[in-house]
Amino acid sequence: MKKQLRLALLQMDIDAGNPEVNFGKVKDMLEEAVTSEVKPDVIMLPEMWNTGYALEEIELLADPDGQRTIEYLSHFSKRHAIYIIGGSIAEKKSDGVYNTIYAFDREGNTIADYSKIHLFRLMDEEKYLKAGTKHGKLNIEGEQAGMMICYDIRFPELSRTLALDGAKLLFVPAEWPHPRLHHWRTLLMARAIENQMYVIACNRMGKSGETNFFGHSLVIDPWGEIIAEAGEEETILYADIDLDLVDQVRTRIPVFEDRRSELYSKK
């Protein structure tokens, strides 16, 4: 299995309420990513890239059962033999709209889906969206990985649960706004350090209504070191990672072996 992976994170502006514009931009950026000097192994998109946070219209705008998104990203991943972590989309199901990631392997198979567990009250998500009920787990090149979405990173129990299940990488699509850049960087680095895993976070940039988004997509190694970070512009962030480093760090400081789970509160 391949241990060294090249990543491409699509840090894009999102036109809230306009899926056609957003699909067009994603198609252009995907084509740009796969024609780079070194083709990536994994491409990742940001949160809610199909609709943005047009929540009052979300019932009309959401992708029914994610079919349009799945069809396009599956075909693209197969055609270019790459993994795609499809950011997240507004997905309409029979019981409501979910904020959902779909992931695809090199053959175009849907290998995982995850709907955001923690809904962000500051943006009224709980009024318009349904919360997911399962963990986001997948396999990348024979290694376990996890998925979370934006606000989820404020809940360390979730990333620790994924790490205890064997995850060596954590993918985090987001729409994280100003002025909380310090929170964004600090929380992501903490999740990497405490779980000794790669954290790969793709944030949007641009403006939606009165909210400004700062980008700063990040790739953080298991020591908590930032190995790639974007600015605030629309861009594709590339980074190379070595999965063997996770095992080296976990051997060097055996935090999982030293846990005292019998003493931790479960409340």
| pLDDT of amino acid 265 | 76
How far is residue 159's CA from residue 176's CA, in Å, rounded to a whole number? 18
- Render pLDDT for 170-220 as a digit per residue (tens, 0 to 9): 999 999 999 999 999 999 999 999 999 999 999 999 999 899 999 999 999
| pLDDT of amino acid 2 | 79
The answer to whether 155 touches 132, Cβ cutoff 8 Å, is no
How far is residue 236's CA from residue 247's CA, in Å, rounded to a whole number? 28
Please, how many CA atoms are within 13 Å of residue 9, restricted to the half-sphere of its CB?
Answer: 30
- Render pLDDT for 51-93 as a digit per residue (tens, 0 to 9): 999 999 999 999 999 999 999 999 999 999 999 999 999 999 9
Residues 6+ apart with CB under 8 A from 108: 74, 75, 77, 78, 79
Tell me the sheet residues that pair with 7: 42, 239
Q: DSSP label at 213?
A: E
| pLDDT of amino acid 39 | 96
φ, ψ for residue 49 (rounded to 5)? -70, -20
| Residue type, position 81, single letter | A
What is the architecture of the domain spanning 4-255?
A: 4-Layer Sandwich (3.60)
Residue 246 to residues 197, 201, 241, Cα–Cα distance (Å): 6, 17, 10
Tell me the sheet residues that pair with 206: 213
| Active-site pick, 25, 47, 125, 202 | 47
- Render pLDDT for 111-167 as a digit per residue (tens, 0 to 9): 999 999 999 998 889 999 999 999 999 999 999 999 999 999 999 999 999 999 999
| pLDDT of amino acid 159 | 98
| pLDDT of amino acid 200 | 98
| Active-site pick, 91, 150, 168, 202 | 150
Question: Where is pLDDT greater, at 267 or 110?
Answer: 110
Q: DSSP label at 126?
A: H
pLDDT band at 267 (very low <50, low <70, confident <90, very high): low
| pLDDT of amino acid 198 | 98
Domain range annotation of the chain: 4-255
Q: Clarify whether 116 is annotated catalytic.
A: yes
Q: Clarify whether 47 is annotated catalytic.
A: yes
Say what the pTM is: 0.97
| Active-site pick, 25, 92, 116, 130 | 116
Query: E-strand spans in 66-155?
Result: 83-85, 89-93, 96-104, 110-115, 136-140, 143-147
Q: Clarify whether 202 is annotated catalytic.
A: no
CA dihedral 68, 69, 71, 72 (to 10 degrees): 110
Question: Where is pLDDT greater, at 210 or 241?
Answer: 241
| pLDDT of amino acid 248 | 97
